[in-house]
Structure 1
Amino acid sequence: MKRHETFQELTACQYGGFSYDCRTRVHPEPAFAPIVLVAGAFQHKDGWGRLEQALAETTTVVTVDLPGWGGADLLPAGYDLAFLARALDHVLDAAGHHEVHVFGGSYGGAVAFRFAQLYPERVLSLALMGTAARITEPMRSRLLHTVALLRAGRYAEFAQYSTRLLTCQDQSAPVARAAAVRRILHAVFAGITQDHAQKYIEHTLRLLRQDLHAPDPLMDVPVLLGTGEHDDFTTPAECRSVAGHCTDARFTLLRHADHAVHLEVPDQLADLLLRFFTDQPLDGLEYCHPVQYYGTVPTINLAGGTGMLISS
């Protein structure tokens, strides 16, 4: 693949009294519309690594630190996902990105989903990885335990517990780069500052106070759902159930991965995203499970009238 020299633009702005920004990695000859990456609770706009690099070889890539992320202002838990979606809309306008493809990972998937619900006219397609449809037990109790550990200042225990929470504990599971990813996650959690600990607490309480995906309107843009085949944090079944909120969804599992797919199989994830965003076939890819399709298709029944066919 021909390599292009990219350059970066930083767009700082405010929304609702909160300061935050986005970074645009500009491709000089983009093959298609920009890709926006919306990060999980512990990520920041400069932390996408190999996944961002692989995507940036083809088109412009935008990464964001919304209120509550990275170096942005702390966002109290009382501000909901719709507020974050509106903040994303505001910064993309400021950066001059009008129609985009959106990828959300984990927590970022809930923000990306709400953004696409509120602004479907600017979302060409939406991909979510490791994003559950709702917070249920035992995840709720586990997340509350992480909050309790941080509030008690038990950072070492928090790091150990959170690393185990986000990684598959089945030692026989063939997860790519498993040991390295555990070290990376543990280092991130162990090095948490008081500022980022408070941001994580507010993030978590926000999730626990509301549904991850508002039931209306139905998601009417093309959606790709998935996670790692060994993800036992946001399980495959929980991620698949997001399809119930969509009119045009497809679901797959990445092989040799658990929750941290962008760290474990970044090249495979990038290939899958690029294929989806450019409307290429997703069937028969060796690095993921067979794709399942979900949607509502109008049909005519013999008695007259119309019905809806759910296909998978």
Structure 2
Amino acid sequence: MMSRTLHLSDGATVRVIEAGAGAPLLLIHGVGMRAEAWGPQIADLSRRARVIAVDMPGHGGSDGLPCAPRLPDYVNWAARVVSALELGPVAVAGHSMGALIATGLAIDHPALVSRTALLNGVHRRSAEARAAVEARAAEIAAGQAGIEAPLARWFSPEDGAVRETVAGWLRTVPQAGYAAAYRAFAEGDGVYAGRLGEIAGPFLVLTGENDLNSTPDMARAMAGMAPQGRAVVIAGHRHMVNLTAPDAVTQALSAWLDSERIRA
């Protein structure tokens, strides 16, 4: 596993972790995390693919986006990342905010994407859920948000060790990058919601049975809109399912990578 700095066409830099060889697989984490949040998947999937995990803008070692970025700005950033990698079409998997970015990348830049996987993605939140996430975004922007509330939503009591690792990432995420990404995340669930039918190639939508924000119903709805969509729900797990049920998630991702692309 190697960490390096990628230089984009606009002069921005992106920290990436790379491992393995073969067909390229791009991994995009969620708000407040960093590339290491994909640790189990990097270790396992690099045996069969060239895995590239990125720090999202304003997270880890990646430069932030200017002004007040919205979801399409993060999508265009991801397109510049793929272009800078010079690897041709990539399989892309995103978690949470990363899932929103992966969705937009597959829709707005289809030539850059061979297949798409969304982990714990959000889709057309209820009015109550939207109000809650917008309130959280305002707290983060004001520097008043703690980490205990999201950790309680994301983990079960038995997830102690993984929970502490994630807590460490949340404590050290740059405030400006965290606030900007969370605002885009809070507004982003409807941006591409009506266009999922445009996603070509194998389309995996995975979540945890007990994820109250990225619900199984959302996953099934998203998968049902795309020609090659498939929903997977991991029983007994919550939002950070790739860390709390790594073997099950890696198995689902491996099956997705093996899926034959059916051309229209």
TM-score normalised by the chain length of structure 2: 0.85
Q: 1:265 to 1:247 in 2, by over 3 A?
A: same
CA shift, 1:17, in A, is 5.4
Of structures 1 and 2, the larger Rg is shown by 1
Runs of 4+ in 1 over 6 A off after TM superposition: none
Contact 2:2 2:19 in 1 (8 A): yes
* Aligned partner of 1:163 among 128, 147, 151: 151
Paired position in structure 2 for 1:20:
14
Structure 2 spans left out of the alignment, 5+ residues: none
Q: Which amino acid aligns with 2:166?
A: L
Distance in 2 (alpha carbons) for counterparts of 1:96 and 1:186: 34
Distance in 2 (alpha carbons) for counterparts of 1:98 and 1:62: 13
Give me the CA root mean square deviation.
Answer: 2.7
Paired position in structure 2 for 1:42:
32
Contact 1:21 1:91 in 2 (8 A): no
Contact 2:123 2:193 in 1 (8 A): no
Q: After TM superposition, list the pairs within 5 Å mapping 1:252-267 onto structure 2.
A: 252-267=232-247
Q: Which amino acid aligns with 1:198?
A: A
Contact 1:167 1:231 in 2 (8 A): no
Paired position in structure 2 for 1:178:
159
Please, which moves more after superposition, 134-143 or 267-276?
Answer: 134-143
Percent identity between matched residues is 24
Q: 1:215 to 1:77 in 2, by over 3 A?
A: farther
Q: 1:93 to 1:16 in 2, by over 3 A?
A: closer
Q: Which has the higher helix share?
A: 2
Paired position in structure 2 for 1:309:
none
Paired position in structure 1 for 2:231:
251
Distance in 1 (alpha carbons) for counterparts of 2:221 and 2:242: 21
Distance in 2 (alpha carbons) for counterparts of 1:273 and 1:180: 24
1:203-240: CA deviations, max 9, x gaps?
12123344242534722222011201111121111222
Q: 1:124 to 1:89 in 2, by over 3 A?
A: same
Contact 1:132 1:242 in 2 (8 A): no
Q: Which amino acid aligns with 1:215?
A: G
Structure 1 spans left out of the alignment, 5+ residues: 1-6, 172-176, 281-296, 298-312
3-state SS of 1:10 partner: strand
Paired position in structure 2 for 1:132:
122
Distance in 1 (alpha carbons) for counterparts of 2:73 and 2:55: 14
3-state SS of 2:124 partner: coil
Paired position in structure 2 for 1:285:
none
Distance in 1 (alpha carbons) for counterparts of 2:211 and 2:248: 16
Distance in 1 (alpha carbons) for counterparts of 2:120 and 2:191: 13
Q: 1:92 to 1:53 in 2, by over 3 A?
A: same
Q: Which amino acid aligns with 1:275?
A: A
Distance in 1 (alpha carbons) for counterparts of 2:219 and 2:241: 14
In the alignment, does 2:206 pair up with 1:226?
Answer: yes
Distance in 1 (alpha carbons) for counterparts of 2:183 and 2:78: 20
Distance in 2 (alpha carbons) for counterparts of 1:120 and 1:107: 19
Q: 1:68 to 1:151 in 2, by over 3 A?
A: closer
CA shift, 1:22, in A, is 2.9
CA shift, 1:87, in A, is 2.1
1:44-96: CA deviations, max 9, x gaps?
12332222101112221011124233222222573333332222222222222
How many positions carry a matched residue from both structures? Answer: 260
Q: After TM superposition, list the pairs within 5 Å mapping 1:1-312 onto structure 2.
A: 8=2, 10-16=4-10, 18-27=12-21, 30=22, 33-76=23-66, 78-154=68-144, 158-167=146-155, 177-189=158-170, 191-192=171-172, 196-210=174-188, 211-213=190-192, 215-216=194-195, 218-243=198-223, 245-279=225-259
CA shift, 1:250, in A, is 0.8
Distance in 2 (alpha carbons) for counterparts of 1:9 and 1:181: 22
Q: Which amino acid aligns with 1:134?
A: R
